[in-house]
Structures are given as structure tokens and as C-alpha cells.
Amino acid sequence: MSDLTSLTIAQASALIARGELKPSTLTDACLARIDRLDSRLNAFVTLTADLARASAAQADREIAHGHRRGALHGIPIGIKDIYETAGVRTACQSNLRIDHVPTIDAETVARLRAAGAVIMGKFATHEFATGSATPDQPFPPSRNPWNLELQPGGSSSGSGTAVAAGFCAGAMGSDTSGSIRNPAGWCAISGHKPTYGLLSRRGVFPLAPSFDTTGPLAWTAEDCALMMDVLAGHDPLDPASASVPPVAYAKAARQSIAGLRIGLVKHWYAHADGATDDMVKGIDEAAKVLRDLGCTVEEVTLPDINDYQACGRVIISTECHTIYRSEVDKHPEKFGYTTRRRMQLGAFLTAEQYVNATRFRRKLQVDTDAAMHGFDLLMTANHWGPPDRFENPPIFHFLGKPSLPNPFNVTGQPALTVCCGFARDGSALAFQLAGRPFDDATVLAAGSAYERATPWRDKRPPL
């Protein structure tokens, strides 16, 4: 074994199962890499090194005595700092919660612990998952491991940075308007936004409850599937949680995808002021790979992406303002300026506009489903071009170019980010695969098959 920190979850899990790797050895390798590199990358806001070592040592003992809990037993995993973690600060990148130490775990964190995962600590985020990388927040912003002058994407910024940098094998993020898929795409990793309601959100600070989704980031789609096997399941204490039959996601991720029909939503991005030429070419080449794997890939027309953007923004802004209005009014100085202004935008929206947006959302869901007739999956760009630099971002950035991930938050469909190479400037190229609600298995199978057929998972950031 060369560099343990470059092992995928699947690879590390297989070595642990065969007795060729101890969880404590893997955890120590990750902690050494964190110690060497994170002062430059700022992925962690709270590193729980002692707790991680204790958890790994416990995994050593249990596995040695034949009590292996499953594929995640002994695997280093990090948590976005909007997830509550018992006894460990959950600050949400905000001075408002800087001293908040929960007494219980978020449901998904509890499931990871029960599966034997080694929790490494808490990752940087944008403030309450809606701010941006600005200097008026309590922790420095994470940086992109491929180019430290660039942002890693948000709001699950630290999660994307950490996985790409080899600080952990997997991470938890959240996705209300692309916040798993943005950093996954910019950091050249895999990120899965599950079907709305498939994973519990209990114990995770909300942004817009009718959109909020929790989910995994990892080096590969197969690794995301392994995490989904542990994370998915009904939570009766989450009012949005769906009760659906269990699915073996990792098993599905290893199956053939021959015969799948994929609709390429090219009109969303392939226009003069849209995606870069490199991105358009990269996705065209990815579509050819999928055809070579036995899929049919044909262009399909969906509603205008600006319709999804307008609908989603009205709902998200209204719900976010409703949740945080009282605290913004009482303690405006404890919020970053950009965060505060974005939260306050909802005050200018009326109940009529919110209701109309929810009705329009239903229409978009119906129209999207109709456009998918005859297709198993949709395929489109994940982001427009190179990552943003660390400059003062526009406060209301979402009033400009629409978000490519956002349509699948509006519809609630599962969507996976897959790296499809690198542009001439070195920045990552990526596409999304989206499926029908609760058919996350097919999405993960297609992403995993593409990754196995291409060389992009062999390239790591030159840190």
C-alpha cells in the first residue's frame, strides 16, 4: 500500500475486511495528512483527533474479534458543521452559534456512528449554508485543493475540500440549491443529492425545509452508494422523511447500465453565455462514453432553467427568512453582512408570491416528469466553468446566472455529480445525472459505471 489517504471507501473497506489494514492505521494516516496540509486548506473548523483515535481503536478491537459492522466500519468520515454532534461544537460558520455544543447527534450522524464510521470532526461551511466566503465570519474559508487561489464551492465547502485533499474517505453535506453538487463539481469528486425525503434532516440546521436535503460526498459514486446504504431510511421524527422499501445502493452501483436511456439537457448550458467550450466538449465526450457502455443518450427539452431558478429562489428566500427573522432582528451584528442581507430578502416577498411559487413548483415537477417519458435518467452540466476566485461576491448572486443544480432541488429528484475531466486551465469538468424520485440506485449505477470506464478517478490534487 502506498498512500493510505488516497484509498476509496470501497478499497479501504475491503482491506479492513481482509485484515490487511487497521482502522487506527488509516485514521492516523489521515490525521497526519491533516496536520501537514489543513493550515493551507482550512477544511476543518473542529478537528476531533482524540475522539477519532478512540473510535478507530474501538473498531480495531471489534473487527479483530469478528464483530465487523459493515462497509463503513473503521472508515474516516467528516461532518459539515451544520449537523449537530453530541459534545462537539456546531457553529454553522456563525458568531450566533459560536458556543453551541449539542447534547445529541443528528440522525444521520447517529447512523454513521452505529455503522462504525470514525468521525474526524466538523467541516467549514458557508454561514447557515446560505452565506458566502467572506471575511466577517468566525472561521477562514476553505480553499480548493486543486488551486488554493480558487473557492471549493459551497455551501458544503469544507466537505468538498477534505475529500479531495484526502483528509477523510467521505463527508456529509447538505443540498438546498446545489450545496453538495457545487463543491463536488469544483473539487473533482462525487457528490449525491438524494431524493427529497430519503435521508433524515433531523438535527441539521435548516435553510428552506421544503428543499433541504442531506447527503454524501466521496471520491467515487460507489463510495457515495456505500454511505447511502447506511444513511437512507425512514425517520418518523422528520416530518418530510419518506417510508420506502430499503435499497442496496452499493450493489446497484456495481451493475451494468447497458440499456439505460438518458436524456441530455443540453439547452440548459450550451449557449453563448453559458458553459465554457471545455465544459460542453467534456460533457459531449462523457455522453459518448455512456453510449459505449450500452446507453442511449439523446437530447431532450425541459422547461427553461430560469423558471426553476425563479421558483426555487422565491421559496428558499421566504422559508429562510421565516426561520431566521427573529434572530436577525435581535442580533444582526452576529451575522455576516452577506448572510444577513440574503436572509432579509424574504421580507420583501408576499404570501401570495410564496403560494404561487409552490403552485409553479408543482407544474415544473409535472412538466419535468413528462419530459422524462421514455428516459431513465437526465444528464446536464454541473457548473458553468472554473471555480470562483476569492473576491467580494455579489450579495444576491442568484439573481444573475441560474444555478445548474437547482432544478433538481425544485423537483426533488436524486442528482449525482460526476467528474468528467479537466479544462485547459486545470479546473474540473463535471456533469450531473438525475433520476426519477426514489430511483437513486440507477443514478449511482450510471455514475459509477462512467467512473470505472474513464481515468479521472486516478488523478489527485498536487498538494
User: Residue 120 and residue 362: Cα distance in Å, rounded?
Assistant: 40
Identify the domain containing residue 159 by its residue range: 11-458
Across the chain, mean pLDDT equals 96
User: Residue 322 and residue 317: Cα distance in Å, rounded?
Assistant: 9
Band (273; pLDDT cuts 50, 70, 90): confident
Asked if residue 5 belongs to a domain, the reply is: no
Instruction: Give pLDDT, residue 1.
Output: 40
- pLDDT per residue as tens digits for the range 153-188: 999 999 999 999 999 999 999 999 999 999 999 999
Band (257; pLDDT cuts 50, 70, 90): very high
Segment 90-96 shows an average pLDDT of: 97
User: Residue 209 and residue 426: Cα distance in Å, rounded?
Assistant: 36
User: Residue 174 and residue 193: Cα distance in Å, rounded?
Assistant: 8
Asked if residue 2 belongs to a domain, the reply is: no
How buried is 259 (Cβ within 10 angstroms: 0-12 exposed, 13-18 middle, 19+ buried)?
exposed
Residues annotated catalytic, as ranges? 80, 155, 179
Asked if residue 68 belongs to a domain, the reply is: yes
Band (401; pLDDT cuts 50, 70, 90): confident
Band (272; pLDDT cuts 50, 70, 90): low
Asked if residue 1 belongs to a domain, the reply is: no
Instruction: Give pLDDT, residue 187.
Output: 98
- CB-based contacts of 130, cutoff 8 Å, min separation 6: 155, 176, 207, 320, 339, 342, 343
Asked if residue 463 belongs to a domain, the reply is: no
Q: Prior bond to 403 cis, omega within 30?
A: no
Asked if residue 6 belongs to a domain, the reply is: no
In the chain, how many domains are there?
1
- pLDDT per residue as tens digits for the range 313-351: 999 999 999 999 999 999 999 999 999 999 999 999 999
Instruction: Give pLDDT, residue 397.
Output: 75
Beta bridge partners of residue 216, listed in sequence order: 172
Asked if residue 405 belongs to a domain, the reply is: yes
CATH (domain of 229): 3.90.1300.10
Instruction: Give pLDDT, residue 2.
Output: 59
Segment 410-414 shows an average pLDDT of: 98
